[in-house]
C-alpha cells in the first residue's frame, strides 16, 4: 500500500504537472528538478510529535532535494519502516514565486493503539509465562511484524512442551470503549502433543538397541523400556540425542561410528517415526597410554585415576570423563586433582598418536602451568545479610591456593545458609564466576547471592472441640544481637547476622497454654563455627470444663512442663568437615495431677540430662536437596540414680545393694521424682539425583529408650509415639512423636496398664522406620518452592527391646505435596494407605507443618 501511494504521489505520468502559486511556474515530474526546502509540515499525527517525525525523515529547511529522486522515496520508506504508521505520503504543498524553493507536506496515518492483549486456549500459568516472554505493552502500535514475531514466540513456547502442530491466530477487533484503540487476542489451538511412536536404528549390530535407547536423553519412543519417560518430540534436543547415539557406540569401542542419515516423518496424526541409519565401523582397543608434561604428579598417580589398562575397550567417552570430569559427583578426575592443588591454568589434551589395526595409542599431553592464588573474593547481592556471615562460611579465602573442592563446597555452604536463594547461587550462569588472571597467576571469585525472606510468622486461630485455639509465633532466622542498640536496625528487629530467635505462644484459654523461646548463635564470638543454643519453655494442659452443679470452671486434672536447655555445637575436621558435634545440658520438670497418659498420673518428676549428638550433613541445600546425605547419632543420658541409692523408701530401710530395692512398693512420687534413662537415636537420609530434578530420597530411623536398673524400669517420659502425621499437638513435651503415614496418630504405639495410672498408657520404647520417596519439583523460586512426592514407608514400635523385630513393620504407600513459603515455612499434605492394620490403617490424609527428618 505504501509503494502504491508513493508512485501515485511521486511517480506520476509524464504529462501530469503540478501548478504552483505562480501561474507561470509548473512542476513536471517527468523532468527531475532540484529545489531548496523552504519548510516541511506534518499532518495526521496524533501520538508522535511533528518534531519526532521530522527527525526520522531527516528533511529540514535549507537543504537541497531533487524531485523526483531516491532521496524522496527513501524518506517515505524510512518512516514506514518504523512500523508505527499504516500509511505514509509526501507531496509538494507549494513552490515559491521564483521556482527554486519548495514547501513539502508529510501525511501519515498512525496505526491504532492496543488497549488490551488477551489469550485464548492457554492456561493461567502459561499466560503469565507468555506475557513475560512477549513483553507486549499496552498503548503501543500493532503491526504485521508484531503479529508475526509474537505468534512465532508463542509457537516456540508450545513446541518446547511437545505441541509441534500448534496454531496461533492473532485476532484484531476495534475497541468500542477506547477511542481509536484495538483489542488483540492471540487464539491458540495447541492441538495434541506430537509424540514419538517408533525409533528405528538401522545398521546397529554389535550394540544392544536397549543401551542406545537408554543413552538418548530426551527423544524417547513408545517402547516398554520408556514407560515412565516423556515421549514428546523435542526439536531443540534432537541433534543432541543424535550425538548421544554416537557416544554410546564410542563407549563400546566403535571409534568411527556415525549417524550417516536420519529422517523424521508422521506415521499417523500426531505420531512420529524416526529412522537413524548408523555405521558402526571397527571396534578398537587401548594399547599404549603415555603422559607428557606431568611433573607435579607421577604417571602412576595419574594412571590410578584414569583406570585404563592395555587391552581395554577404546571408550573415549569415559576416558574424557576421567580426564576432564563430568561423571558422577563422587568420581575423581585428573583435572580436579590438579585444580584442587591450585593449578587453575592446568590444561590437558588426549591425542591419538598411533592406530595399528584395532589398537590405539593415546598420549595425554599436560600443561601444568603455575598454581593460582585467590586474590579478591567478591560477594554481591547481600542487601540484608552481613558480608561477614557469608565470608566466615565459605572455604575460599584471599591468599589461599585455589581449590576446586573448596570452591564447590563454598557454593554449597551459601546454598545451605537459609538466607539466600539456593537455586540462584547454584546456577553457573548467574550464581558465581571465576575471573582468572594468568599474568600474575591469581584468580578472583565472585559470588552473586540473592536474598530471600528467611523469617517466619505464625498467626492463626480456629474453633475445634468447643474451644478456640490461638497461636502466635515468630522466628527470626537472620537475627543480629550485634545491632541491638542500633536504632536504624529495628525494622522491625535487627537482622543480618544469621542468628535465630524464636518465640511462640499458644492457648485456647484455660485448657491449654504453651510458651517457648529459643536463641541460636551459629558462630560464637564470630571466629569459629561453634554454635551456642539456648531454649526455655512452659506448657500447661488441663481437662478444663464447667461444672454444672457448682457453675464454676474446674481444672482438677492437669499436666505442667517447664524447662531450660543450653548447648554448644562444633564443626569437626575429622573424619571430614561435614561433621558437627553437639553437647547440651537440659533440665525439665513434669507436674501431673490425675493425668492418665503416662506411667503415673499424679506427682512431680525432674529430668536432668546430657545430650551428645554427632551429625553429618552433605546435602547441597536445605529445602529441596538433590545430592548428599544426612546422618545423626544422638545419645541422651541422665545420671543413674537407682544405681546410687541405698535407701528403700518403700520399706523405710537401708540396703547394701541398690538392686535389692523393691520399687513396686514405692509411691509414684518416690519412684519417679528423678527420672533416669539412656536414649539412643540413629537417623540417616540419602538423596540421589536420578534424571534432571527427579530425586530419590531413602531414609532410615531407629530409636531406643533404655533403663539402668530393671527393677526401676522404663522412664515414664521421653518415649516414642509412632503413627500418623508426626504433629504432636498438645503432647509436645515428654514424648517423641514419629510420623508414619497411612495410619492414625499414635496407632502403632503399644499400650499397657500400670499400677500408678487409672487407664491404659502409651509405652513405646523402641521403634524403627524406613522411607523411600520419589520427589519432583513443580516450582523452584525464591518466593516459593513446591514439590510433589510418591512414598513407600514402613515402621513399628515396641514396648521392650526384647520384642524388637526389624522385619515386623507396618507398611504404607501414598502421594503428597510440599509447599515452602519464606514467611510461613514448610507446609504439606499427604495421602497414605496403610496395608497392615485394618482398624487404624487404610486411607488417611495427613497435614504436615515444618521440616521432618
pLDDT digits (tens, 9 = 90+) for 746-793: 999 999 988 888 778 899 999 999 999 999 999 888 778 899 999 999
The proportion of the chain whose per-residue pLDDT surpasses 90, expressed as a percent, equals 57
Q: What does the pLDDT average to over 518-524?
A: 94
In the predicted model, is pLDDT for residue 745 greater than 50? Answer: yes
Q: Are 739 and 729 in contact (CB under 8 A)?
A: no
pLDDT at residue number 209: 92
pLDDT at residue number 476: 92
In the predicted model, is pLDDT for residue 7 greater than 50? Answer: no
In the predicted model, is pLDDT for residue 466 greater than 60? Answer: no
Residue that wins the pLDDT comparison between 30 and 218: 218
Q: What does the pLDDT average to over 219-239?
A: 86
pLDDT at residue number 343: 96
pLDDT at residue number 9: 37
pLDDT at residue number 457: 78
Q: What does the pLDDT average to over 307-312?
A: 94
Question: Residues for the chain: how many in total?
Answer: 853
pLDDT at residue number 394: 95
The span from the CA of 838 to the CA of 810, in Å, is 11
Residue that wins the pLDDT comparison between 538 and 20: 538
Phi and psi for 74 in degrees, rounded to 5? -65, -35
Mean pLDDT of the chain: 87
In the predicted model, is pLDDT for residue 8 greater than 70? Answer: no
pLDDT at residue number 178: 82
In the predicted model, is pLDDT for residue 545 greater than 80? Answer: no
Which whole-number Å values give the CA distances from 766 to 607, 687, 718, 796, 801, in the listed order?
20, 26, 11, 8, 6
H or E stretch at 8: helix 2-10
Burial class (CB in 10 A: 0-12, 13-18, 19+), 662: exposed
Which whole-number Å values give the CA distances from 49 to 64, 145, 168, 182, in the listed order?
24, 23, 35, 21
Which of these ranges, 180-194, 375-389, 551-565, has the smallest mean pLDDT? 551-565
Per DSSP, 371 falls in state P
Which of these ranges, 67-71, 223-227, 499-503, 548-552, has the smallest mean pLDDT? 548-552
Coil/strand/helix, residue 553: strand
The span from the CA of 27 to the CA of 33, in Å, is 8
Burial class (CB in 10 A: 0-12, 13-18, 19+), 815: middle
Residue pLDDT, tens place only, 666-703: 988 899 999 999 999 999 999 999 988 899 999 999 99
Burial class (CB in 10 A: 0-12, 13-18, 19+), 729: exposed
pLDDT at residue number 59: 87
Phi and psi for 768 in degrees, rounded to 5? -140, 160
Residue pLDDT, tens place only, 393-436: 999 999 999 999 999 999 999 998 989 998 899 999 999 999 99
Pairing of strands 359-367, 347-356: antiparallel
Q: Within 13 Å and on the Cβ side, how many CA atoms surround 728?
A: 14
Question: Helix 2-10 crosses helix 70-80 at what angle (to 10 degrees)?
Answer: 150
Q: What does the pLDDT average to over 265-292?
A: 95
The verdict on whether omega for the bond into residue 660 sits within 30 degrees of 0, i.e. cis, is no
pLDDT at residue number 732: 57
Single pTM value for the model: 0.70
- The confidence band for 467, taking pLDDT boundaries of 50, 70 and 90, is low
Q: What does the pLDDT average to over 246-261?
A: 94
Q: Are 374 and 397 in contact (CB under 8 A)?
A: yes
In the predicted model, is pLDDT for residue 31 greater than 50? Answer: yes
Which whole-number Å values give the CA distances from 407 to 66, 400, 696, in the listed order?
68, 11, 26
Q: Are 167 and 188 in contact (CB under 8 A)?
A: yes
Q: What angle do CA 133, 135, 141 make, to 5 degrees?
A: 140
Q: What does the pLDDT average to over 283-301?
A: 95
The span from the CA of 584 to the CA of 232, in Å, is 55
Q: What does the pLDDT average to over 169-198?
A: 90
Burial class (CB in 10 A: 0-12, 13-18, 19+), 253: buried
Q: Are 741 and 723 in contact (CB under 8 A)?
A: no
In the predicted model, is pLDDT for residue 233 greater than 50? Answer: yes
Coil/strand/helix, residue 245: helix
Query: How is residue 354 written as a grid cell?
Result: 598411533
- The confidence band for 23, taking pLDDT boundaries of 50, 70 and 90, is very low
Other Cβ atoms within 10 Å of 734 Cβ, number: 22
Coil/strand/helix, residue 353: strand
In the predicted model, is pLDDT for residue 196 greater than 80? Answer: yes
The verdict on whether omega for the bond into residue 68 sits within 30 degrees of 0, i.e. cis, is yes
The answer to whether the Cα torsion of 26, 32, 33, 35 is positive or negative is positive
Paired residues of 5 in beta bridges: none
- The confidence band for 19, taking pLDDT boundaries of 50, 70 and 90, is very low
pLDDT at residue number 810: 94
Q: What does the pLDDT average to over 347-352?
A: 95
Where does residue 325 fall: left (phi above 0), alpha (psi -120 to 50 degrees), or beta otherwise?
A: left
Q: Are 814 and 771 in contact (CB under 8 A)?
A: no
Other Cβ atoms within 10 Å of 257 Cβ, number: 25
In the predicted model, is pLDDT for residue 327 greater than 80? Answer: no
End-to-end Cα separation, the chain, in angstroms:
71
The answer to whether the Cα torsion of 311, 312, 317, 322 is positive or negative is negative
The span from the CA of 487 to the CA of 489, in Å, is 5
Residue pLDDT, tens place only, 43-77: 888 878 888 888 888 888 888 888 888 888 888 88
- The confidence band for 556, taking pLDDT boundaries of 50, 70 and 90, is confident
The answer to whether the Cα torsion of 806, 809, 814, 819 is positive or negative is negative
Per DSSP, 850 falls in state S
Paired residues of 265 in beta bridges: 273
Coil/strand/helix, residue 111: coil
The span from the CA of 314 to the CA of 412, in Å, is 36
Rg value, the chain, Cα:
39
Query: How is residue 270 written as a grid cell?
Result: 500426531
In the predicted model, is pLDDT for residue 841 greater than 70? Answer: no
Phi and psi for 337 in degrees, rounded to 5? -55, -45
Query: How is residue 238 written as a grid cell?
Result: 534432537
Other Cβ atoms within 10 Å of 275 Cβ, number: 14
Give 237's contacts (C-beta < 8 A, 6+ positions apart): 217, 218, 219
In 638-732, which ranges are E strands?
Answer: 647-648, 653-654, 678-689, 695-706, 719-722
Q: What does the pLDDT average to over 434-443?
A: 95
Order the strands of the 359-367 sheet from edge to edge.
Answer: 285-292, 359-367, 347-356
In the predicted model, is pLDDT for residue 2 greater than 60? Answer: no
Query: How is residue 559 written as a grid cell?
Result: 499436666
pLDDT at residue number 242: 94
- The confidence band for 518, taking pLDDT boundaries of 50, 70 and 90, is very high
pLDDT at residue number 15: 29
- The confidence band for 234, taking pLDDT boundaries of 50, 70 and 90, is confident
Q: Are 236 and 160 in contact (CB under 8 A)?
A: yes
Question: Helix 70-80 crosses helix 50-57 at what angle (to 10 degrees)?
Answer: 130
Comparing CA positions, the residue from 359, 356, 337, 354 lying closest to residue 346 is: 337
Q: What angle do CA 733, 734, 738 make, to 5 degrees?
A: 85
pLDDT at residue number 235: 85
Amino acid at each position: 500500500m505504501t509503494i502504491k501511494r508513493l508512485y501515485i504521489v511521486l511517480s506520476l505520468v509524464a504529462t501530469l504537472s503540478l501548478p504552483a502559486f505562480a501561474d507561470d511556474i509548473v512542476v513536471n515530474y517527468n523532468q527531475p528538478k532540484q529545489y531548496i526546502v523552504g519548510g516541511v509540515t506534518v499532518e495526521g499525527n496524533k501520538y508522535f510529535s511533528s518534531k519526532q517525525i521530522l527527525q526520522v525523515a531527516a528533511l529540514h529547511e535549507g537543504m537541497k532535494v531533487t524531485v523526483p529522486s531516491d532521496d524522496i522515496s527513501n524518506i517515505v520508506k524510512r518512516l514506514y519502516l518504523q512500523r508505527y504508521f499504516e500509511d505514509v505520503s509526501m507531496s509538494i504543498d507549494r513552490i515559491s514565486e521564483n521556482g527554486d524553493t519548495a514547501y513539502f507536506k508529510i501525511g501519515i496515518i498512525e496505526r491504532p493503539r492496543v488497549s488490551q492483549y488477551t489469550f485464548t486456549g492457554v492456561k493461567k500459568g502459561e499466560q503469565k509465562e507468555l506475557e513475560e516472554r512477549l513483553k507486549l505493552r499496552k498503548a503501543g502500535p500493532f503491526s504485521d511484524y508484531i503479529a508475526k514475531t509474537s505468534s512465532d514466540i508463542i509457537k516456540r513456547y508450545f513446541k518446547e512442551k511437545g505441541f509441534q502442530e500448534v496454531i496461533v491466530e492473532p485476532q484484531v477487533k476495534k475497541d468500542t470503549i477506547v477511542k481509536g484503540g484495538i483489542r488483540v487476542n492471540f487464539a491458540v489451538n495447541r492441538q495434541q502433543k506430537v509424540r514419538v511412536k517408533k525409533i528405528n536404528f538401522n545398521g546397529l549390530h554389535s550394540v544392544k538397541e536397549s543401551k542406545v535407547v537408554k543413552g538418548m536423553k530426551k527423544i524417547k519412543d513408545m517402547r516398554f523400556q520408556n514407560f515412565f519417560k516423556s515421549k514428546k518430540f523435542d526439536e531443540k534436543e534432537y541433534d543432541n540425542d543424535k550425538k548421544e547415539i554416537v557416544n554410546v557406540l564410542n563407549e563400546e569401542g566403535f571409534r568411527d561410528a556415525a549417524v550417516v542419515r536420519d529422517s523424521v516423518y508422521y506415521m499417523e496424526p500426531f505420531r512420529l517415526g524416526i529412522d537413524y541409519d548408523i555405521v558402526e565401523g571397527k571396534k578398537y582397543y587401548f594399547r599404549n597410554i603415555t603422559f607428557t608434561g606431568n611433573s607435579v604428579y607421577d604417571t602412576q598417580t595419574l594412571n590410578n585415576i584414569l583406570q585404563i589398562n592395555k587391552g581395554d575397550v577404546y571408550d573415549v567417552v569415559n576416558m574424557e570423563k576421567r580426564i576432564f570430569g563430568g561423571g558422577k559427583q563422587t568420581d575423581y578426575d585428573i583435572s580436579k586433582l590438579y585444580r584442587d592443588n591450585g593449578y587453575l591454568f592446568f590444561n590437558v589434551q588426549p591425542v591419538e598418536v598411533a592406530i595399528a589395526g584395532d589398537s590405539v595409542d593415546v598420549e595425554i599431553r599436560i600443561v601444568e602451568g603455575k598454581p593460582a592464588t585467590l586474590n579478591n573474593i567478591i560477594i554481591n547481592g547481600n542487601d540484608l545479610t552481613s558480608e561477614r556471615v557469608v565470608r566466615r562460611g565459605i572455604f575460599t579465602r584471599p591468599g589461599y591456593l585455589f581449590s576446586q573442592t573448596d570452591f564447590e563446597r563454598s557454593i554449597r555452604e551459601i546454598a545451605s545458609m537459609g538466607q539466600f536463594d539456593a537455586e540462584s547461587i547454584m546456577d553457573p550462569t548467574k550464581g558465581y564466576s571465576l575471573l582468572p588472571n594468568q599474568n600474575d597467576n591469581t584468580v578472583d571469585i565472585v559470588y552473586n547471592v540473592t536474598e530471600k525472606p528467611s523469617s517466619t510468622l505464625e498467626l492463626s486461630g480456629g474453633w475445634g472441640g468447643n474451644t478456640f485455639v490461638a497461636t502466635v509465633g515468630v522466628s527470626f532466622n537472620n537475627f543480629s544481637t550485634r545491632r541491638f542498640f542500633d536504632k536504624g536496625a529495628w525494622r522491625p528487629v535487627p537482622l543480618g547476622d544469621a542468628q535465630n530467635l524464636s518465640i511462640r505462644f499458644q492457648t485456647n484459654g484455660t485448657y491449654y497454654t504453651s510458651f517457648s523461646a529459643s536463641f541460636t548463635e551459629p558462630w560464637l564470638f564470630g571466629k569459629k563455627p561453634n554454635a551456642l543454643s539456648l531454649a526455655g519453655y512452659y506448657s500447661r494442659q488441663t481437662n478444663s470444663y464447667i461444672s454444672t452443679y457448682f457453675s464454676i470452671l474446674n481444672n482438677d486434672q492437669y499436666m505442667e512442663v517447664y524447662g531450660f536447655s543450653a548447648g554448644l555445637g562444633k564443626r569437626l575436621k575429622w573424619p571430614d568437615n561435614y561433621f558437627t558435634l553437639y553437647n547440651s545440658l537440659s533440665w525439665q520438670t513434669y507436674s501431673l495431677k490425675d493425668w492418665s497418659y503416662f506411667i503415673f498420673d499424679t506427682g512431680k518428676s525432674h529430668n536432668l540430662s546430657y545430650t551428645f549428638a554427632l551429625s553429618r550433613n552433605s546435602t547441597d541445600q536445605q529445602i529441596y536437596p538433590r545430592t548428599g546425605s544426612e546422618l545423626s547419632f544422638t545419645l541422651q543420658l541422665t545420671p543413674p540414680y537407682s544405681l546410687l541409692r541405698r535407701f528403700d523408701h518403700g520399706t523405710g530401710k537401708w540396703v547394701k545393694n541398690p538392686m535389692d530395692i523393691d520399687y513396686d512398693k514405692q509411691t509414684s512420687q518416690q519412684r519417679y521424682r528423678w527420672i533416669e534413662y539412656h536414649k539412643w537415636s540413629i537417623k540417616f537420609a540419602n538423596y540421589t539425583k536420578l534424571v534432571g530434578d527427579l530425586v530419590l530420597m531413602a531414609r532410615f530411623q531407629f530409636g531406643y529408650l533404655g533403663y539402668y536398673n530393671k527393677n526401676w524400669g522404663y522412664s515414664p517420659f521421653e518415649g516414642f509415639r509412632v503413627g500418623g502425621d508426626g504433629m504432636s499437638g498438645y503432647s509436645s513435651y515428654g514424648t517423641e512423636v514419629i510420623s508414619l503415614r497411612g495410619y492414625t496418630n499414635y496407632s502403632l504405639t503399644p499400650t499397657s496398664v500400670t499400677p500408678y495410672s487409672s487407664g491404659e498408657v502409651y509405652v513405646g520404647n523402641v521403634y524403627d522406620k524406613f522411607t523411600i520417596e520419589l520427589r519432583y519439583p513443580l516450582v523452584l523460586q525464591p518466593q516459593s518452592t513446591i514439590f510433589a512426592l510418591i512414598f513407600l514407608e514402613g515402621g513399628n514400635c515396641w514396648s521392650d527391646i526384647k520384642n524388637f523385630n526389624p522385619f515386623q513393620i507396618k507398611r504404607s504407600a501414598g502421594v503428597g505435596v510440599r509447599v515452602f513459603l519464606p514467611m510461613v515455612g514448610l507446609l504439606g499434605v499427604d495421602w497414605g494407605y496403610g496395608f497392615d492394620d485394618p482398624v487404624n490403617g487404610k486411607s488417611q490424609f495427613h497435614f504436615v507443618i515444618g521440616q521432618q527428618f
